[in-house]
Structure 1
Amino acid sequence: MKSLVLEEKMKLSLRDFPIEREEVLGVRDVRIKLHTVGICGSDVHYYTHGGAGIFQVKAPMILGHEASGIVVETGAEVTSLKVGDRVCMEPGIPDPNSRATRMGLYNVDPAVRFWATPPIHGVLRPTVVHPENFTFKLSDNVSFAEAAMVEPLAVGVHAATKAQVKPGDVALVMGAGPIGLVTALSALAAGCARVFVSDIDDTKLELAAKLGAITPINVARQDVAKEILAATDGWGVEIVFECSGSPRAAEGIFDPLCPAGRVVFIGVQMHDINYDVGKAMVREARVEHVFRYAHVFPRCVAMLSSGAIDVKPLITRTFEFEDSVRAFEIAASAPKGEVKMQIALPQ
């Protein structure tokens, strides 16, 4: 079977790739046959721009990092997994001896090896070798498609954890893309009584409104701060999650925030933003930033299994593997109404 390879900017191909013959199974590793892989915004950005910040594609690279599959081989010292287990995988492998990892901050370890982040290959390919400790068994009631959503969901759960959500909090999520919607679901699961979601895409906002106690705001027609202040008796929201990556959205991030509120930046800002320190100071706002996630994959798997979070409505289109190139072309066009596109590999 072939792999989906980003040859260079705006050029993808399905072809045999030697990595399949190079990966050696360690004693604490498992070999996984890939089943479902989600298309992430970062994958699309590498395709359309050839890089992101310090991460530049300088050689052909396999894409994909949101994945589920089946264990087909185990290392000699693996104890928690067996052949045939259905699993999802945390895609970042840190250096266990780094200072950041030893402090529990493994997601910000500078030496972390993360799938589909140059020069590390992703998993739109037949199999992958992965550490047992970063591979998580699924319960029977969680599908492969749902399991491939654990990776983006982990971002939302990590953000809700950083925000220190309290029961009854009201939050605003800026952006109704995949990360925005999993963040809204995570905020509700963590205890928020109500979540506002802002975007310009009515179809995504209609979907958001069906996910729970969520109030949609179309920023093309409505003023976010005015809507929220009117709905909260002038107080504002306790938490703002910025998931859009929009400089314009970030400029007004403190306007709907209540005194002593919390702001969490999640969406990647590709350019400098106007950050109003004065508005932050008069509120004594606490500002957090999210880079991927840490220590939340088991929580996400457990919440999907229990039904505490339902990600199925976010999966809006599934492509067969042979249509992978077309799938990325469609994803790059940012069609309205699409949230999470996935690719199903041959079994």
Structure 2
Amino acid sequence: MKSLVLEKVNELSLRDFPIEKSEEALGAHDVRIKMHTVGICGSDVHYYTHGSIGPFVVKDPMILGHEASGTVIETGSAVSTLSVGDRVCMEPGIPDPNSKATRLGMYNIDPAVRFWATPPVHGILRPTCVHPEAFTFKLPDAVSYGEAAMVEPLAVGVHAATKAQVKPGDIAVVLGAGPIGLVTALAAIAAGCARVYVTDIVDRKLEIAASLHPAITSVNVASESIADRVSRDTGGWGANVVFEATGSPRAAQGIFEPLCPGGCVVLIGGQSEPIAYDAGAAMVREARVENIFRYAHVFPRCVDMLASGTIDVKPLITRTFEFDQSVEAFEIAASAPPSDVKMQILLPQ
């Protein structure tokens, strides 16, 4: 089937690509899905430009894409919650149901998880896929295909806010105004934060952040210290939660500076190398530190929040491309235009 294939670093092609029969076989508990919308994630772009992320190395041609929505076109014999014609979004990681991590409820950190567009597993920038019913979620009428394809990145932010144990009235700082930083800010507000400071060094990104919700305050850290700003606004106390969503070692060095005593730091951004960690700053605050790897148990919550209007991700979808423009779309995404948050690709219907 025609797919967007990463041939090697900096080389993409749209071509017919053979899918293994075992991957296309419909099991009793599976559904076959016709793809509709697929978002371009930072990890997809990183594989395109670098060929690897940490231990995950692209050694053979690989189909990209993991943020997706579509329509069920076939159901397995034991499927009971989905029907042909249902609009759905899909959680892209399939764990081993018998692993200890899965049995403990931490299926996202199951070492055997098979995650779309993570080598050697293919992604879903292709016409159809087969996916387990348990990781496929029916969409309410109020949620569009585009919004549904945003559930995957939103799940990261909701998982982060959950791990932070946000309480009503908390003050939060989100370092980084990229897509994950922005959905984290929205998730923190939905969880109860009264104010969220979002930092970056690009004014246009900060303008987008400030436009998303009245509770968001943008701070350009190229010209203003976030620690000083939060200290001034909180009477010297600090923020209850700091979310690190830049993936920048330099930004991560200062994660404890805006944090109040007893506060929580949540590390979301993937670091390509070890980072400096100020153990003394953490100690004197008795800071709690949480780490995020993707998400678990939050997709239905995200769908419900989109349906109710609790979270609005529509302003984050800044550009769409037709499937035949996929290579061009990735070239543009790799250039990191400051006015774009999330680019999506629409497959033929």
With normalisation by structure 1, the TM-score equals 0.99
Ranges in structure 2 where 5+ consecutive residues have no aligned partner:
none
Deviation at 1:253, TM superposition (A): 0.7
Match of 2:259 among 237, 242, 257: 257
- In structure 2, the residue matched to 1:194 is 195
1:73-222 aligned at under 5 Å gives the runs: 73-212=74-213, 213-222=215-224
- In structure 2, the residue matched to 1:331 is 333
Contact (CA 8 Å) 1:201, 1:337: kept in 2 or not? no
Deviation at 1:172, TM superposition (A): 0.1
- In structure 1, the residue matched to 2:17 is 17
Partners of 2:27 and 2:233 lie apart in 1 by 56
- In structure 2, the residue matched to 1:303 is 305
Partners of 2:86 and 2:196 lie apart in 1 by 36
AA of the residue aligned to 1:305: A
Contact (CA 8 Å) 1:202, 1:218: kept in 2 or not? yes
Partners of 1:340 and 1:199 lie apart in 2 by 17
Partners of 1:248 and 1:224 lie apart in 2 by 14
Partners of 1:53 and 1:257 lie apart in 2 by 29
- In structure 2, the residue matched to 1:317 is 319
Partners of 1:338 and 1:211 lie apart in 2 by 14
SS in 1 for 2:130: strand
SS in 2 for 1:36: strand
AA of the residue aligned to 1:141: A
SS in 2 for 1:281: helix
After superposing the two structures, state which structure 1 stretch, 223-232 or 106-115, moved more: 223-232
- In structure 2, the residue matched to 1:245 is 247
With normalisation by structure 2, the TM-score equals 0.98
Deviation at 1:55, TM superposition (A): 0.4
Deviation at 1:335, TM superposition (A): 1.2
Partners of 1:336 and 1:305 lie apart in 2 by 29
Deviation at 1:207, TM superposition (A): 1.2
Ranges in structure 1 where 5+ consecutive residues have no aligned partner:
none
SS in 2 for 1:19: coil
Number of equivalent positions: 347
Deviation at 1:223, TM superposition (A): 1.0
- In structure 1, the residue matched to 2:289 is 287
Deviation at 1:83, TM superposition (A): 0.3
Match of 2:273 among 271, 274, 277: 271
1:30-49 aligned at under 5 Å gives the runs: 30-49=31-50
AA of the residue aligned to 1:161: T
SS in 1 for 2:212: coil
- In structure 2, the residue matched to 1:5 is 5
Deviations 1:144-173 (A, max 9, x none): 000000000000000000000000000000
Contact (CA 8 Å) 1:20, 1:127: kept in 2 or not? no
SS in 2 for 1:210: helix
Partners of 2:192 and 2:145 lie apart in 1 by 27
Contact (CA 8 Å) 1:238, 1:261: kept in 2 or not? yes
Identity %: 75
SS in 1 for 2:229: helix
Contact (CA 8 Å) 1:265, 1:288: kept in 2 or not? yes
1:50-65 aligned at under 5 Å gives the runs: 50-65=51-66
Moved over 6 A (4+): none
CA RMSD of aligned residues (A): 0.8
AA of the residue aligned to 1:263: V
SS in 2 for 1:220: coil
Partners of 2:8 and 2:92 lie apart in 1 by 22
Deviations 1:264-297 (A, max 9, x none): 0000011221110000000000000000000000
Partners of 1:89 and 1:272 lie apart in 2 by 32
Partners of 2:89 and 2:41 lie apart in 1 by 16
Deviations 1:15-37 (A, max 9, x none): 00111755100011000000000
Partners of 2:29 and 2:161 lie apart in 1 by 32
Partners of 2:200 and 2:304 lie apart in 1 by 29
AA of the residue aligned to 1:61: M
